[in-house]
Structure 1
């Protein structure tokens, strides 16, 4: 691969300079530059989450190269180091042909808008690459930068929010699964006050919430409740104008609901400090709390823990409920629907012909054969197909972990996931998996996407962390009773005067340009 250098990110931030690679590309009109030679290989930088990355002669990589029609030259980076490495690579001398970009960071956005990455909007819309045609335009828009698509997004479940509830406790108390926020409050009360486990002791509570220091829009239980109340999703379109969700009356109404849960004792007392990575399964399984608002996979985790305790009764412990109605309507909280994207730097892929080579390769990798290799491995080696599922060879689990922890990171699946799902161990596991799919389909119809998901405000890029913290602190202080309504209003006023009003102005200007 020819070595090319992108302008250092610091220079981009300071002066908004065009990239040196693009200045030689015929005026930066998108045609690229260089000799126009065909690519002989395809270098890809990607993170790995497995204990080790694939070996250079990994058989999955060899088969993916055959599919792509180009030798894949992988540059694997530990996931924990990936963000820092991305910045170093963008400022360095050797840029890969394709990069996994994990988030729309300030550096990436500035580099893209300065011309450092190919704008793929028209190429993906052409239909020439059917496996790269999105099945969800909302997600495609959200993954863009101010409406321009600079990468093929890596698809993830669009709707994952759900409620896991102790099924046996509902049965013991003669309660039905909740369908709205009032019924959820009643279940939380009953689980706290009505001895759901029948041991005659006052030793249970309703809802398990871990510490969640991040601000709105991070998938917390608070975010879900606020969406159910009609506050929107980070931003809300109010008659064509974007307003921050935390400035809506519905948001305040939702906070009062959360405050009632806490002040009534229906939530674990350590909600502000509980470890969110490991803490909230234990009280559910050990009979302390009975409700968790989180991703759907949480239910499968909990069922698995109950199975470890008693394989004969574990199917009677967990009920899975989707997004529920609030007092102002019936809404569902979606995810962004993607986890980063594959972007193509112009420093290495310099001509349109080379870009089409890359997109053709990525299209092939996104087909069924590619998805199976990236997500399952090699059929007949580490897995076989049974009843339409992947049955994995337990003796080769380490290798399967490398497949899912590394090769899956270059998978896009934007046209739909068509690889094999793991074979369920029991009929109940299959039933729970199907219930998840049914809930996703149902909740997608009422999903409230962030209308500003595609937009990148310059002020927010530089001051967003500080602004977010103002609202994060105010929310937890209000629902815990540390500040009253006037204190909450003061925090929102502080957000506005500290740059929030400028962010809102910039976002609305960009919103008007989306068309």
Structure 2
């Protein structure tokens, strides 16, 4: 990107020096500063805003300037990206934070990282809460999202707004027709389908070679947590009016979910090896016609459909996002990270005053405009995409789109709410259902809170519960044994975590 010149000389030299040290910048995306620019340029409302952006790269190589030129026109800016490969983001961001080798905008996607959280709490970045309402698209960020993205009650950046709740149930509709059942709406109806898919030869080959559920070894993104939502299980934590915290596995909903999975396993209505099955194997097995129920992200339906091409060409899928434990229960679906994908943060070392901060906030506000969002998602009409007869956005040059557009997708401050229609019918339906899920999303109240014990011991303690959950479902331990594991979790640090969350919750109120 040799054309990117004219940045603050001090900033460019800072970034370049870190790049040469191999600690921060991706080779090939450099900038040369030949002259000092007028220091007041960022304050001149009629000039282009010159922006350096330390960002995460999720593709093999940085984008070319084709789409970037258009983004700059839309936002009246000149942008210099410094790309960090996703695979090494944690190490390189830690280095950048420690050396204060940053940029006007810093993409922080790992808010649970202790170095990131400590940097945010230290005052290294601007608290933007009081400024958001000055900009229409930033003002639209909901209170729930702002709270979830905050650290100790302060919002140190603009939240990356992700889909609130993506999960649901994907079912072989052609198999439902074969066994004479309707699309299930309750967990009990879903179990009836699982039984029929296992015992009634839904593929019609005369062999006993199918199961109901095809699941994987993941209690979060597999079937378990989504089924838990249908039984009223809280999202990781339940907090009462006094700020007392209870873990999800201390609730009746969690036990009902274990009992449900246990019944599936005992009857053979789920793949027997689910506890050791990888996601790729789960999806391949489903696509090969070995099972008819997949619980996970609804947009996975498109991938399952693609994988089944040439193998299960008659596959017809039904998507369900309104399942409950019974007809009287309220809809609920857990939210991954409360819809927060990180922060666009503004370091005080680079952004010197309110005027400069507001210019940058306006830039992000402009990125949230529909036309700019479309650029960062699909590219340029006629070059990267076309609108088909149904008004869907159809990529016309996949290779060019991957090279010039795809790298920008993860830079969008918001990934939903624009109503752009996917040309694939099953993906378009999944998008609609995911958007609808937002009304029923269950947040994790601990996302914005601090617990030192959870930071240091949380992962190890969770292993106690994960192991006990699988052991109970597989019939290796009793419910009393599971409750003993919960007690062990409390005794070894869980009780302290709950107390720390309570203190942080009450302080943040």
Match of 1:499 in 2: 493
Q: 1:443 aligns with which of 432, 437, 446?
A: 437
CA distance in 1, matches of 2:292, 2:240: 36
Deviations 1:103-129 (A, max 9, x none): 2121111111110111111111x2x22
**Alpha-carbon distance in structure 2 between the residues aligned to 1:231 and 1:239:** 18
Query: Deviation of residue 172 (structure 1)?
Result: 0.8
1:64 matched to 2:71? The reply is yes
In structure 2, distance between residues paired with 1:60 and 1:280: 37
Q: Deviations along 1:279-302, whole A, 9 cap, x unmatched?
A: 122222222111000101111222
State the match for 1:106 in structure 2.
Answer: 114
Distance in 2, matches of 1:289 and 1:390, equals 32
Between the aligned partners of 1:310 and 1:488, the Cα distance in structure 2 is 41
Q: How far off its partner does 1:50 sit?
A: 1.9
Alpha-carbon contact 2:124-2:348 (below 8 Å) kept: yes
1:379-437 C-alpha deviation (Å, 9 max, x unpaired): 2322233453323222xx223113453112221127x5438444x1xxxx43x345334
When residues 438 and 249 of structure 1 are mapped into structure 2, their CA distance, relative to the original with a 3 A threshold, is same
Aligned to 2:126: 118
TM-score by length of 1: 0.84
Following the alignment from structure 1 to structure 2, what is the Cα–Cα distance between the partners of residues 484 and 392? 53
Residue aligning to 1:50: 59
Q: How far apart, CA to CA, are the structure 2 residues paired with 1:146 and 1:185?
A: 43
Aligned pairs for 1:319-358 within 5 A: 319-326=318-325, 329-330=329-330, 331-335=332-336, 336-358=338-360
Return the offset for 1:188. Answer: 0.9
CA spacing shift, 1:223–1:45, aligned 2, 3 Å = same
Q: 1:326 to 1:84 in 2, by over 3 A?
A: same
Contact 1:324 1:332 in 2 (8 A): no
Gaps of 5+ in 2: 1-7, 15-38, 44-48
How far, CA to CA, are the matches of 2:431 and 2:100 in structure 1? 45
Q: Distance in 2 between matches of 1:299 and 1:137?
A: 32
**Whole-angstrom CA distance in 2 between matches of 1:363 and 1:267:** 47
Partner of 2:453: 459
Is the CA contact (8 Å cut-off) linking 1:100 and 1:341 kept in structure 2? yes
Structure 2: distance between partners of 1:205 and 1:411:
40
TM-score by length of 2: 0.85
Q: Which of the residues 168, 177, 197 maps onto 2:174?
A: 168
Residue 443 of structure 1: how far off its partner (Å):
3.3
CA contact (8 A) 1:228 1:323 kept: no
Out of 469, 488, 493, the position equivalent to 2:482 is: 488
Q: 2:392 aligns with which of 389, 393, 409?
A: 389
Match of 1:413 in 2: 414
- Equivalent position of 1:97 in the other structure: 104
Judge conservation of contact 2:195–2:212 (CA < 8 Å) in 1. Answer: yes
Corresponding position of 2:224: 222
Q: Does the 8 Å contact 1:46/1:409 carry over to 2?
A: no
The alignment yields a C-alpha RMSD, in angstroms, of 2.4
Aligned to 2:91: 84
CA–CA separation in structure 2 for the residues paired with 1:111 and 1:159: 29
- Match runs of 1:124-143 below 5 Å: 124=132, 126=133, 128-143=134-149
Counterpart-to-counterpart distance in 1, 2:419 and 2:207: 49
Where in structure 2 are the equivalents of 1:266-277 lying within 5 Å? 266-276=269-279
**Equivalent position of 1:475 in the other structure:** 469
CA distance 1:309–1:297, shift in 2 (3 Å)? same
Q: Which has the higher contact order (CA 8 A, sep 6+)?
A: 1
Q: Is the 8 A contact 2:216 2:222 kept in 1?
A: no
Most deviating of 345-354 and 400-409 = 400-409
Displacement, 1:308? Answer: 4.4
Q: In the aligned structure 1, how far is the partner of 2:374 from the partner of 2:435?
A: 23
How many residue pairs align between the two structures?
465
For residues 297 and 264 of structure 2, what CA distance do their matches in structure 1 show? 20
Q: Distance in 1 between matches of 2:485 and 2:40?
A: 56
CA distance in 1, matches of 2:419, 2:124: 33
Q: Are the structure 2 counterparts of residues 219 and 36 from structure 1 closer, same or farther at C-alpha, using a change threshold of 3 Å?
A: farther
Question: Are residues 441 and 197 of structure 1, via their aligned partners in 2, closer, same or farther at CA, if it must alter by over 3 Å?
Answer: same
**Cα pair distance change 1:310/1:465, threshold 3 Å:** closer
